[in-house]
Chain A
């Protein structure tokens, strides 16, 4: 890592940047314009969110709040727990801990920083990780390994059985920093009694681990409050998802990103409820007016894996420019049992019951087991409830014109099967494009090349 990069504490750098951006939303337009003069790199991203109105402003506040929580955790006597995006933060909030979600922080860094997260990603390789490891962890993780962020106290991941590269990154972090490690482990099936019991037993171990390290018993009253807030959030999410099924979709593409980033950072927290309420209100307003979420909807795209997060939110601007409605990804659905698509995927959904301690733990264990990736790439992709069934159910229900796979070269799991998977989707009538870029690292393929290939796909397949 270059010495000049080491001069700056990464958490403070990001935290202050996002706090300033969030503050812009509270000022006048003139003030914002004046401030943009001084932020040549970040203004494109900040102004994109601010253009989304109240929802965009809340989203910036949410990101700033996330960093504020991290930066002030130790001062407030809370422990920082490194974790992954496919692990719900609710249990950490209940244990009075602050989650540090590597993938989210890498995506934020990639969005706001013109030079991307490359220096930090590469530091992980300096520290000993393979260069073929997943970039989604390596970004923010590099800063923490280099000692440029707040001190991480413990590591909890839930990807063993789901994603080796992810789990390896977290195991590596714990070993490198010499801190406690816990893994939730998932079997290859979902929805059957055996795997449900496994989830519950595993979760009890997690609770014991958290209690040991927080030094206090889990606060079930707090957990109950958090789960009740999740109830509200799930309801709002379902409403928003229903709107996405309309043609044209009244939901702007960037809402997908805001929805899942908000959920991964703040499930159970009121700020995410505020964000969802605002997004829903705006989308409902669009629907009432018959106004699409993109200037003119020409195509409906389902991203069967993740989206693209590198500099200047290029991908999201591209969707708007081309008139492509983003109708969700593996990240954006919450799989609550009363959602419409759950009828097509028996066993893949969860419910919430706060009537007793046992019921709460069972609810949260089953909810975690249905987070992205954990839910659908844990077993053979064509088995019941797995990736193929999920993708087909969602693509059909949301009337996708095409399906796009995007990930990172580090995703050994999906690259191990994406070719036959894509072929099967094609057999079901969906044109499929496999992107060979890296969602977090433009050095693998420049955005310009990625854009060309997307354009070529849409053109060759007669979609645009």
Chain B
């Protein structure tokens, strides 16, 4: 039964803000702590016996609470998180760690606290601001290490636990095992005939940001086996990479893949491979290893000035996954991803790589029709390009045959 359902269970975990495994953890009397950004080192929380879950806004059905505290020109993602917090959906949390991932997300710190003055009981007992610098070396790196030490100290005091280097090293091993399993699963997307969809792979990454790590690793081992047992499909789908703003729902990927014309073979999302892959480099000091992973290897445009490096990584991904095109998406008011998408669209097109730039709202795809239409048109363009290349190749090959005969 379990063997057959791993992929479905991962998708279920990715589609709910309170998956059963999280509730079980909570029912056992163990703390659950919400985080708002992929910069928060999950290993530190896990080492303290606390379950870190990345907060998602996917169950929000409106934004009346979000709009009461945030202003109008703000991305809908933090508004949805506040909506859920205000309506009590996050009452199962024992704590929250908020980071300055972006200006809108860092203001969730104030808005949540202020909403808590009006709606009692929605602010968890542990409410911490984790100050992530915008520099990865020298004093930036030291600042991040210090922030982690402060987090360790505050958690130790609040949850009455002791976090040792051994605890941290065990947590790193556990998380790295999940990362390797994710990379194995993701590797199936390299095949010509897809055994699994990009939606399934994204679901496995998102699930990794919420499930207890032992459960996750177990499910991932089963998911890899399930994928291996599937026969490769013989369809020739258009291979796409998705980049840009936060996306914690499966809706966009489903929409892209739902017509049976395209496969998402890679992404650079913070709920996806940015968090789910790349093992932590071994270090004598586990905190330094963690900092190297979370801060230094970050590919978020909040690390200003690293555009060339991020473009390079995207190109590597496009080449290694043999992608036909790139969808660059951003949530409205996300200027960091939105403006970088503009540069990337320019540079990808210069290199002959088709790129589609989409601005969207976060949440239940309010503008499904519009996005459908644009994705369809993009796929048609790529299909037409493929056809042209095929024709040119076949003409060239016919010509070379004829030349050989002469």
Contacts and interface: CB of A to CB of B under 8 A. Distances in A.
Interface of A: 127-130, 132-134, 157, 160-161, 163-165, 167-172, 174-176, 181-183, 185, 187-189, 194, 197-198, 201-202, 205, 379-382, 409-421, 423, 436
Interface of B is mostly: helix
A171 B304 CA distance: 6
Contacts, number: 151
Contacts of B210: none
Contact of A161 (B69, B100, B334, B343): B100
Given A128-B345, A194-B146, A415-B71, A420 B111 contact: yes
A183 to B, nearest CB: 5
Q: Output the residue of B108, B110, B134, B304 with the most chain A CB within 10 A.
A: B304
A415 B138 contact: no
A269 B134 CA distance: 32
B307 A132 contact: no
Interface string B299-319: 001101101100000000000
A163 B336 CA distance: 11
Contacts of A436: 72
A379 B110 CA distance: 10
A175 B307 CA distance: 7
A167 B340 CA distance: 12
B103 A416 contact: yes
A381 B334 CA distance: 21
A160 B71 contact: no
Contacts of B304: 157, 160, 167-168, 170-171, 181, 183
Given A171-B304, A174-B305, A201-B139, A185 B71 contact: no
Interface in B63-110: 68-75, 78, 100, 102-104, 106-110
A381 B110 CA distance: 7
Given A168-B304, A412-B102, A420-B114, A188 B129 contact: yes
B338 A185 contact: no
Contacts of B129: 188, 379-380
Interface string B116-147: 00000000000001010111001110010010
A197 B146 CA distance: 13
A412 B338 contact: no
Q: Output the residue of A130, A133, A421 with the most chain B CB within 10 A.
A: A130
Nearest to B67: A419
Contacts of A420: 69, 110-111, 114
A414 B69 CA distance: 12
Contact of A132 (B107, B114, B338): B338
A281 to B, nearest CB: 41
A175 B335 contact: no
Contacts of B146: 194
A169 B359 CA distance: 18
A172 B343 contact: yes
A167 B103 CA distance: 11
A187 B336 contact: no
Contact of B73 (A161, A194, A409): A409
B342 to A, nearest CB: 2
Given A163-B103, A165-B103, A415 B339 contact: no
A169 B304 CA distance: 10
B111 A416 contact: yes
Nearest to B75: A412
Contacts of A415: 70-74
A187 B135 CA distance: 11
B335 A130 contact: yes
B342 A129 contact: yes
Contact of B335 (A194, A381, A412): A412
A164 B103 contact: yes
Contact of A171 (B73, B100, B307, B338): B307
A147 to B, nearest CB: 15
Given A171-B304, A185-B134, A130 B339 contact: yes
A130 B333 CA distance: 8
Contacts of B339: 128-130, 133, 168-169, 172
A349 to B, nearest CB: 22
Interface in B203-233: none
Nearest to B140: A185
A185 B359 contact: no
A128 B343 contact: yes
A374 B342 CA distance: 27
Contact of B305 (A129, A163, A181, A379): A181
27 contacts: A128-B341, A128-B345, A134-B335, A157-B304, A160-B134, A160-B135, A161-B134, A164-B103, A167-B304, A168-B304, A171-B304, A172-B339, A181-B304, A187-B133, A197-B139, A380-B109, A380-B110, A410-B335, A412-B75, A412-B104, A412-B335, A415-B71, A416-B70, A416-B104, A416-B106, A420-B111, A421-B110
Contacts of B71: 414-419
Q: Output the residue of B69, B139, B346 with the most chain A CB within 10 A.
A: B139
B332 interface: yes
Given A187-B131, A409-B73, A415-B74, A132 B335 contact: yes
Rank and list the top 8 A-B pairs by shortest CB-CB distance, nearest first: A128-B342, A416-B107, A415-B71, A130-B338, A160-B134, A201-B139, A420-B114, A175-B307
